[in-house]
């Protein structure tokens, strides 16, 4: 999985969501920009949902990859993956690796 591609998708989606935010997410901070965090976050639950849906649709359109970023089973195992751009990118990579594994298993069986 090309990490840079995913970073680009996330940052493009953040730029899109910034249009509806009064307090904009500092995209120039790249991976270190806070997203959804109790003390430093810029998103509320609705704008978080909008951001995640944007990313899911972009992943599907650009990488032909269907992901459920709010997979509760997966979320239970980790700290808030939506805290920063970096944690979100890592979360996406984790999920896509799980998907790849599943696909490989499907092919084997």
Partner 1 sequence: MYINFLIDRFDKNKKDCAVIWNDKEYTYDWLIQCIQHFKSQLQKYKELEKSVVSLEADYSPYSIAMLLSLLDRGCIVVPTHDSLVKAIKEEYNDIAEVEHFVKIKGDNFEIKHKKIKSVKNKLLLQLKNQHHPGLVLFSSGTTGRSKAIVHDFTLLLNKFSERRNPKRIIPFMLFDHIGGINTLFQVLSSTGCLVIIQERSPLEVGKTIEKYKVQALPVTPTFINLFLINETYRKYDLSSLETISYGSEVMPESTLKAINEIFPNVKIFQTYGLSEVGVLSSKSKHAASLWVKVWGEGVKTRIVDGVLQIKSHSSMLGYINAPSPFTEDGWLITGDMVEQDGEYIRILGRKSEIINVGGEKVFPAEVESVLRLISGVEEVVVSATTNAITGQMVKAAVRLNTNESLGEFRIRMRNFCRDKLPAYKIPQKVVLTSKELHTNRFKKNRKLI
Comparing CB distances to partner 1, the nearer of 56 and 85 is: 56
- Candidates 23-31, 70-78, 83-91, 94-102; binding stretch for partner 1 (CB under 8 A): 70-78
d(CA 22, CA 36): 15
User: x/- site string to partner 1, residues 45 to 64, per CB under 8 A?
Assistant: xxxxxx-xxx--xx--x---
Comparing CB distances to partner 1, the nearer of 29 and 60 is: 60
**Cα three-residue angle 77-36-34, rounded to 5 degrees:** 110
Residue 71 makes contact with partner 1 by CB under 8 A? yes
Instruction: Report the SS3 class of residue 10.
Output: helix
Residues 6 or more apart in contact with residue 36 via CB below 8 angstroms: 42, 43, 48, 80, 82, 83
Interface residues toward partner 1, by CB under 8 A: 12, 16, 19-20, 44-50, 52-54, 57-58, 61, 68, 70-72
């Amino acid at each position: 999985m090309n990490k840079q591609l995913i970073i680009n998708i996330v940052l493009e989606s953040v730029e899109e969501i910034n249009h509806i935010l009064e307090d904009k997410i500092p995209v120039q901070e790249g991976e270190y920009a806070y997203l959804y965090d109790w003390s430093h976050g810029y998103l509320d639950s609705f704008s978080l949902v909008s951001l995640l849906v944007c990313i899911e649709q972009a992943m599907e359109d650009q990488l032909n990859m269907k992901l459920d970023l709010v997979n509760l089973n997966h979320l239970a195992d980790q700290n808030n993956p939506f805290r920063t751009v970096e944690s979100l990118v890592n979360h996406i990579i984790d999920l896509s690796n799980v998907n790849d594994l599943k696909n490989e298993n499907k092919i084997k069986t």
